[in-house]
A and B are shown apart, each in its own frame.
Chain A
Amino acid sequence: MNEIVKDRAGLTRRGLLQSGGALVVAFSVPAGLAGTAGPAAAREPHRPLDPAALDSWIAVGEDGRVTIYWGKMDMGQGTDTGIAIMAAEELDVDVDVVDIVAGDTALCVDQGGASSSSGVQRSGVAIRHAAAEARRLLLELAAEELEVPAADLRVENGTVVAASDASKSVSYGELVGGQLFSHKLDWNGRLGNSLELAGTAQPKDPSEYRLVGTHIPRKDVPGKVMATMDFAHHLVVPGMLHGRTVRPPVAGAVPEAIDDSSIADTGAQVVWKGNFVGVVAEDEWDAIRAARDLAVTWSEPGPQLQTDTGGVHDFIRRAEIKSEEHTTDDGDFDGALAGAATVVEAEYEYPFQSHARMAPAFGLVDVRDGGATIWTDSQKPHSVRPGVADVLGLPIENVRAIWMPGPGSYGRSDADDGAIDAAVMSAEVGRPVRVQWMRNEGIAWDPKGVASVSTGRAAIDADGNVVGYHYGIKGFSRQNMRSRGDEAGSVLAGHLLGREPHNAYAARSPEQSYAFDAMRYTEQVIDPLLKVASPLRTAHFRDPMGMEVHFGQESFIDEVAEAAGADPVAFRLKHLTEPRDRAVVELAAEKANWQSRVGPNPDPGDGAVRRGRGIAYAQRNGAVNALVAEVEVNLETGEVYVPRFILASDHGQIINRKSMRTTLEGNLIMALSRTLFEEVEFDPEMVRSEDWATYPILEMAQVPQAIDIHMIDRTDIGPRGAGEASTRIVPGAVANAVYDATGIRIRKLPLTNAGVRAQLTGA
């Protein structure tokens, strides 16, 4: 061993490891549990945060453990384990020697947070390249160390061994343990989701994989099951107060007077700044009581939300179009329509939906000495950091956001708002403040998924050919505010302190490979119902507008198929151009034992319960899925039950089979919940959905008996994100199956019992 130590110094002199004497000593994740860090801790002197530096991504400890610094984080789908697998694969180490540090802005480069299902697809591929390069450097070092050519070396779990002489070996820890690589990667110059890295080394060919594509147990599971893992919510820092926010009873109301004697018995303190009202107390229950009991005189702004649950779709139809784009415009659609023998036309309505996270927003912030430390369960801590800096007017260098796990977050949920609320209160009271919203806030005040009206129009000629196809969506923007809380206008507290959101007019079009002679896709976006501090502000929600667009589109494809005298599967296969798309549709149909027919099931059963099946398919960002839903519709109650889903899924290269399966199940179940139950109730004054009774989601009784998942593994094209892609096909498949079972076409979500019953009885 002595020799190796000596030689290692020699290697350093040879310039491969220009550590400059800087030992990597600051690897441990700030647990945050012991104490709160001041702004100084926002800088880690020993490690770079330069995306082009290999050391920003990978460190090897003296014990041979590998740490990956990851600029995204796992929302519970095992993405962190996926990253560990990809790194371990390239480095030729076991997965359990790889530690992942995620989402600490002082330690991790901004890779965009959990976003767009790109954890594996993009950030994982960047880390794959970094790991391959690290392995190449380690082999170079080992070749010198062992005095054998690099080609004669192989790696066994982090130990480099000479193939010709097994007595010659050296471990990664012995080679570089605790030192920097001081090596540059090719970086594409971009931060966020599109950050890419490359080195001289090529990542492995899939034929060499040992780990990728197998089943590796997720790292996060035991801690969650054994109650040993810290959620953000468990964090306690010295001097911490509990904060609660106080919301107005109606949208747009602002505080005019506050009587703090109303909460004298709680010992809580009121925080009133601009239109922001909160309370802080030593005890959590005292803060909760104080927020509940605080006597606030609110202004009476009158109805601000312009419409209500029942009226919103007519409102959308009438609303002025603020932006319009034909995202596809091939051939002469208007001519085709004019000359058509048959025109099919239909409209589809999609409601506002709430993220309704399992727990409402959280944030713990310590503002002191001109800086802030934020503990957040936001899926974008790199955005919360500038958000807090902007709201408080702090230099961003003095702000550090540290991610910790929380309830699953699937888009721009209320998480960012919670962090900023805590920051505002901490700045006011000069102590760390932990905020948790109450349940009503987590449904009534979180950002919402978009309500929309879609229209399909198809032209069919006398021979039954579809010669023109148009599908358009009109709705609120999926970005009433930026999809990340990175500035004051993007968070509720910012609005309450006088800032306005940056409204972008953003929608979505179908992502599919249908081809018709003339076709047009159109996106039309309208203004928000209320611009500032709105309980109906819209933003990204799991697969932003994917469900809205593809519910209508895949329903309409079925309607057109029938009008053209075709079976839904045959019609799709006839018009799909991408081989991968055709493959999933064929596989789903085959596994579902699809019986071809035109029009509804001639044999749906004769009791109260009628049976049918439907299909839907869509791409998303390079992934493609087809889903067959089998349904039972109770004609008396209107209940729609899905006993079985059959999913054919192609997400490119599979990294971890079991996590892929549970992730896909989660997509389908959450989307089924949104298809069957979820609609934000509101009237012109306020959102009235505010708990699980007024915003019901799916429960165990409605869970399918079986979800069959058939995965196509495409090692040749790299991984494609699985976190959202199978969400968007659920409502179309279910609505098509309801039609098959009953002959009634339902063009409005959700498919609640009452809504379905009304349609069945024509009431």
Chain B
Amino acid sequence: MTKQTFEITVDGETRSVIAEPDMPLLYALRGALEKKGPKFGCGLAQCGACTVLLDGEPIRSCVTPIDSVSGEVRTLDGLATDGTPHPVQAAFIEEEAPQCGYCTNGWMMYAVAMLEKNPDVSDQEIRDNFAGLKCRCGTHMAILRATKAAADAMKA
């Protein structure tokens, strides 16, 4: 294979990346684009640490070839508005949801995707929305509290 140039729009900025067509988006985000939110956890779509939003939907950037990306990518790095945390971020900070914080990106991005569509969610819907995400440190209870608080804030 040979490297090609791809244009991707991430957090409102269009950037070109030179890469193999099958290179997962994650490596462009972590590499040339220097994003700190999405992380490598498994490379197998099994944990969610690499999650970004593509046109508002959560995707696993570790298994998304860069040549398949069209649309707006949004990362944790781009959630804040002029330094003001997104309501999900504010709630995760207030609740001190992360421990090591390595997985937290995935939970926050799934929370954002859900709550921006509809913040009126039940406890069970919050749990269901997080299916497939992993956290080794066991921060699940704090994540639930934070997501509920974010939902309340976004409803208000």
Question: Which residues of A are at the interface with B, using a C-beta cutoff of 8 A?
Answer: 75-78, 217-218, 220-222, 224-231, 233-234, 265, 283-286, 288-289, 356-359, 405-408, 410, 436, 438-439, 658-659, 662-663, 665-670, 672-673, 691-693, 697-701, 703-704, 707
State in angstroms the CA–CA spacing of A234 and B36 once bound together: 7
B114 contacts which chain A residues (CB < 8 A)?
none
Chain B's nearest CB lies how many Å from the CB of A194?
26
A229 touches B36 (CB 8 A): yes
Q: Is A700 within 8 A of B96, CB to CB?
A: no
B117 at the interface (CB under 8 A from A): no
Task: Say whether B49 contacts A359, CB under 8 Å.
Answer: yes
Q: A224-B98, A406-B100 are in contact. Are A285 and B19 (CB under 8 A)?
A: yes
CB distance from A727 to the nearest CB of B (A): 10
A285-B27, A692-B46, A703-B144 given; A76·B40 CB < 8 A:
no
Most buried by A among B19, B39, B144: B39
Ordered by A's residue number, 19 sampled pairs between the chains whose C-beta atoms are within 8 Å are A224-B101, A225-B104, A227-B76, A227-B105, A231-B102, A233-B30, A233-B40, A284-B27, A284-B31, A358-B103, A408-B136, A659-B96, A662-B96, A666-B139, A670-B136, A692-B42, A699-B130, A699-B134, A700-B144
Q: Which residues of B contact A663 (CB under 8 A)?
A: 99
* Bound complex: CA A703 to CA B102 (Å): 19
Chain B nearest CB, measured from A301 CB (Å): 28
Question: Within the complex, what minimum Cβ distance (angstroms) separates B136 from chain A?
Answer: 4
The distance from the CB of B10 to the nearest CB of chain A, in whole angstroms, is 13
User: In the bound complex, what is the Cα–Cα distance between A406 and B39 (angstroms)?
Assistant: 11
Docked Cα-Cα span, A436 to B104, in Å, equals 19
Q: Is the CB of B138 within 8 A of A667?
A: yes
- Nearest 5 pairs between A and B by C-beta? A669-B138, A224-B101, A76-B99, A76-B100, A408-B100
Chain A residues closer than 8 Å to B40, beta-carbon distance: 233, 359, 436
Please provide the chain B residues from 73 to 117 with a CB less than 8 Å away from any CB of chain A in the complex. 75-77, 79-80, 85, 89, 92-93, 96-105, 108
Q: Is the interface of B mostly helix, strand, loop or mixed?
A: loop
B133/A699 in contact, CB under 8 A? yes
Query: Which one, A222, A227, A707, contacts B37 given CB within 8 A?
Result: A227
Evaluate contact between A225 and B127: CB separation under 8 angstroms. Answer: no
Q: Are A665 and B142 in contact (CB under 8 A)?
A: yes
Within 8 A of A (CB), among B1-18: 1
| Minimal beta-carbon separation of B83 from chain A (angstroms) | 9
* B153 proximal to A (CB < 8 A): no
Q: Which B-chain residue is minimally distant from A285 (CB atoms)?
A: B23
How far does the alpha carbon of A698 sit from the alpha carbon of B131 in the complex, in Å?
11
Contact in complex: B127, A357 (CB < 8 Å): no
Whether the Cβ atoms of B49 and A358 lie closer than 8 Å is yes
Determine which of A218, A221, A358, A405 lies in contact with B41 in the assembled complex, contact meaning CB atoms within 8 Å.
A358
B residues near A265, Cβ cutoff 8 Å: 1
Known: A234-B34, A666-B138. 20 other contacts (CB 8 A): A75-B99, A76-B98, A76-B100, A217-B96, A221-B93, A221-B101, A224-B104, A225-B89, A227-B37, A233-B39, A234-B30, A285-B20, A438-B43, A439-B42, A662-B99, A662-B139, A691-B42, A691-B46, A699-B130, A700-B131
Residue in A227, A670, A691, A697 whose beta carbon sits within 8 Å of that of B44 in the complex: A691
Contact between B101 and A229, CB atoms less than 8 A apart: yes
Contacts of A225 in B (CB 8 A): 85, 89, 92-93, 97-98, 101, 104, 108
The 8 Å CB contact of A358, one of B36, B79, B131, B135, is: B135
Q: Check A439 against B85 for contact (C-beta < 8 Å).
A: no
> Is B136 within 8 A of A357, CB to CB?
yes
Contact call B138/A668, Cβ cutoff below 8 A? yes
- Tell me which of B93, B101, B133, B142 contacts A700 (CB under 8 A): B133
If the complex has contacts A76-B101, A359-B49, are A697 and B36 also in contact, measured as CB distance less than 8 A? no
The answer to whether B46 touches A703 (Cβ under 8 A) is no
Chain B, residue nearest A267 (CB): B3
Give bound CA distance, A408 to B135, whole Å.
10
Cα(A635)–Cα(B74), bound, Å: 45
Residue of B at shortest CB range from A665? B141
Q: Which of B27, B31, B100, B137 contacts A405 (CB 8 A)?
A: B100
In the bound complex, what is the Cα–Cα distance between A540 and B102 (angstroms)?
22
Chain A, residue nearest B23 (CB)? A285
Contact of A699 among B20, B131, B137 (CB under 8 A): B131
B47 at the interface (CB under 8 A from A): yes
- Residues from chain A with a CB closer than 8 A to the CB of B133 are 699-700
Q: Which residues of A contact B75 (CB under 8 A)?
A: 227
> Inside 8 A of B46's CB, which chain A residues have their CB?
439, 691-693
| CB-nearest residue of chain A to B85 | A226
Known interface pairs A226-B85, A406-B102; A231-B39 also in contact (CB < 8 Å): yes
| CB pair B134 A358 closer than 8 Å | yes
> Which chain B positions have C-beta within 8 A of A700?
127, 130-131, 133, 140, 143-144
A231 in contact with B127 (CB, 8 Å): no
Give Cα A703–Cα B41 distance, bound, in whole angstroms.
21
Interchain nearest-CB distance for B101 vs A (Å): 3
Across the interface, which residues of B come within 8 angstroms of A662, CB to CB?
96, 99, 139, 142
Residues of A within 8 A of B103 (CB): 358, 407
Which residue of the partner chain A has the closest CB to B137?
A: A408
> Nearest CB to that of A442 among chain B residues?
B42
Chain A residue contacts of B93, Cβ below 8 A: 221-222, 225-226
Q: Is the CB of B136 within 8 A of A356?
A: yes
Residues of B close to A438: CB separation below 8 A: 43
Do residues A358 and B100 form an inter-chain contact, with CB atoms below 8 A? yes
Q: Give Cα A668–Cα B30 distance, bound, in whole angstroms.
A: 33
Q: How far is the CA of A451 from the CA of B64 in the complex (A)?
A: 38
The interface residues of chain B lying within 8 Å CB-to-CB of A231 are 36, 39, 101-102
Residues on B with C-beta less than 8 A from A704 are: 141
| Nearest Cβ on chain B to A34's Cβ, whole angstroms | 14
Residue of A nearest to B80 (CB): A226
Instruction: Kindly state the separation between the CA atoms of A20 and B47 in the bound complex, as whole angstroms.
Output: 55
Please indicate the chain B residues that have their CB under 8 angstroms from the CB of A666 in the complex.
Answer: 99, 137-139
How many angstroms between the C-alpha atoms of A407 and B41 in the bound complex? 9
Q: Which residues in A have their C-beta under 8 angstroms from that of B130?
A: 699-700
Task: Looking at the assembled complex, report how far the CB atom of B1 sits from the nearest CB atom of chain A, in whole angstroms.
Answer: 7
Q: Are A701 and B131 in contact (CB under 8 A)?
A: yes
CB of A658 within 8 A of CB of B96, answer yes
- Residue from the set B36, B49, B75, B139 with the largest chain A CB neighbour count within 10 Å: B36
CA distance A75 to B93 in the complex (A): 17
Query: Which residues of the other chain, B, contact A691 by a CB distance below 8 angstroms?
Result: 42, 44, 46
